[in-house]
Structure 1
Amino acid sequence: MSGTRWEWRDSGSASGHMQRVADSGTYNRVQAAYRAYINHATACAGCGHGETKCATADELWCSYRAART
């Protein structure tokens, strides 16, 4: 996922660790793309509740995948 950075996380009593964290802009883009896909899939008669997908759902899913990379 582009727009990520590593941050130190204190895990309490154990030694901490580094964790990959998305920048807020990246997070917002990914969430917006996923929300568009879910909103379409729940309202579209051609999507079959996740068992089949229409062409629009395929495009929205590709947009979501692209936002994650």
Structure 2
Amino acid sequence: MSGTRWEWRDSGSASGHMQRVADSGTYSRMQTAYRAYINHATGCDGCGYGERRCSTADQLWRAYRAART
């Protein structure tokens, strides 16, 4: 995933670890694209409440996947 960086996370009593974190712009694009997919899928009769995907849902899912890279 581009637009990511590594940050140190203190685990409290453990020694801590490095965690991959999305930049705010990347996260925002991903969140917006995923929300568009979910909003469509939950209201579309052709999507069957997540059991299958219509062509519009396929396009929205591809847009979400593209936002992740």
TM-score band w.r.t. shorter chain = over 0.9
How is 1:20-31 mapped onto 2 (pairs within 5 angstroms)? 20-31=20-31
Indicate conservation of the 8 Å contact 2:8/2:17, yes or no.
yes
Question: Distance in 1 between the 2:62 and 2:39 partners?
Answer: 15
Aligned equivalents of 1:42, 1:12: Cα separation in 2: 40
Supply the RMSD in Å over aligned alpha carbons: 0.7
- Identity between Structure 1 and Structure 2 (%): 83
- Structure 2 distance, partners of 1:34, 1:8, is 27
Q: Is 1:56 matched up with 2:51?
A: no
TM-score (norm 2): 0.94
TM-score (norm: length of structure 1) = 0.94
**SS of corresponding position for 1:7:** strand
Structure 1 residue ranges without an equivalent (≥5): none
Structure 2 unaligned spans of 5+: none
Give distance in 1, aligned partners of 2:13 and 2:40. Answer: 45
Amino acid corresponding to residue 49 of structure 1 in structure 2 = Y
